[in-house]
Amino acid sequence: MKRVAFQGERGAFSEDAVAKFFGSTLPVPHPIPLPTLAEAFQVVEAGDADHAVVPIENSQAGSINETYDLLLRSPLLIAGELTLAVNHCLMALPGQGRGAVRQVFSHPQALAQCDRFLRELGAELVPVYDTAGSAKMIKEQGLLGAAAVASERAAQLYGLEVLARNIQTIANNFTRFVVLSREPAPPGAQNKTSLVFATQNLPGALYACLGAFATRNINLAKLESRPSREKPWEYIFYLDFEGHVQEQGIQEALQDLEGKTAFVKILGSYPKARG
């Protein structure tokens, strides 16, 4: 049985992602809920879990910076990806109407994704470590005048009443998750590679790096800069592109890239998500 770690309590969207990615495999994977993303990485690194499923970006709120920072430091590899539709609900203890809500608890990303609805609600927003965890807290502590933003499945698990459904600001709200492993993934029919690199401090350095892909007609799916943790005002670049590291053209591009950068780290080469 595969042991799959995720950040959050039972009922978290990350657990839904675990079920979606591994749902067709037998035996059914054993989910391991953990308080933090760092712990989800750590249990796989230590061999206490086979995989972790972690969020990496949201179609509305953008990148999950902590995940990118952990990928930079971790020896784990991205072995797969999936996209999950995220539909947020407002929930409270049974009998609590929407007008009684004075505080709303949830993960900061979820609060950001529901900003328009929550502004109109006019309640105090209280960030906590997890969407489902906020629902569990309200139930266990019997909090009156409090609501959580979480999935409808979390409301069912913790016996809360749904006060409003689909409260996200953008109706088509999706989160991309990546599957982490200690071993590289075999190629699929369509593949994607993720890496991180730092440019040399020279004019046109980034232009030259991207040219390693452009001259070989390799399609870039994402490019994002993040501040370096080593030196102030210096940046590293996270890049996703189509193709697998086993392909000859990709190997040539990576060799070219290595000659133009201060460092390159492959984060994973894996089957591309469908849809």
- Report the first-to-last Cα separation within the chain, whole angstroms: 28
Query: CB neighbours of 105 closer than 8 A, spacing ≥ 6?
Result: 126, 127, 128, 134, 137, 138, 146, 147, 148, 149
Which single residue is written with the structure tokens 């994402």?
222
> In the prediction, which pLDDT does 200 show?
78
pLDDT surpasses 90 at 171: no
Hey, which CATH number is domain 191-271, 3.30.70.3420, 3.40.50.280, 3.50.50.60, 3.30.70.260? 3.30.70.260
Please compute the mean of the pLDDT values over residues 252-263 and round it to a whole number. 94
Where exactly does CATH 3.30.70.260 map onto the chain?
Answer: 191-271
In this structure, which topology does domain 3-86+173-181 adopt according to CATH? D-Maltodextrin-Binding Protein; domain 2 (3.40.190)
228 — pLDDT class (breaks 50, 70, 90): confident
> In the prediction, which pLDDT does 24 show?
62
Q: Check: CB of residue 169 under 8 Å from CB of residue 115.
A: yes
> In the prediction, which pLDDT does 61 show?
78
> In the prediction, which pLDDT does 229 show?
76
Please compute the mean of the pLDDT values over residues 93-114 and round it to a whole number. 94
Please compute the mean of the pLDDT values over residues 84-95 and round it to a whole number. 96
Please compute the mean of the pLDDT values over residues 178-207 and round it to a whole number. 93
What is this structure's pTM?
Answer: 0.89
> In the prediction, which pLDDT does 160 show?
97
Considering the chain, what is the average pLDDT of its residues?
A: 93
Q: In terms of Cα–Cα distance, which of 4, 1, 3, 2 is closest to 177?
A: 4
Q: What sign results for the dihedral spanned by CA atoms 31, 55, 195, 82? A: positive
Compute the distance between CA of residue 26 and CA of residue 171 in angstroms, rounded to an integer: 33
C-alpha triplet 211, 197, 64: angle, nearest 5°: 115
Which residues lie across from 90 on neighbouring strands? 149, 164
CATH 3.40.50.2300 fits 89-165, yes or no: no
Q: Give the tens place of pLDDT for each residue, 11-20.
A: 999 999 999 9
Where exactly does CATH 3.40.190.10 map onto the chain?
Answer: 3-86+173-181, 89-165
25 — pLDDT class (breaks 50, 70, 90): low
Please compute the mean of the pLDDT values over residues 74-94 and round it to a whole number. 97
Hey, which residues are catalytic here?
A: 175, 177
Share of the chain above pLDDT 70, in %: 97
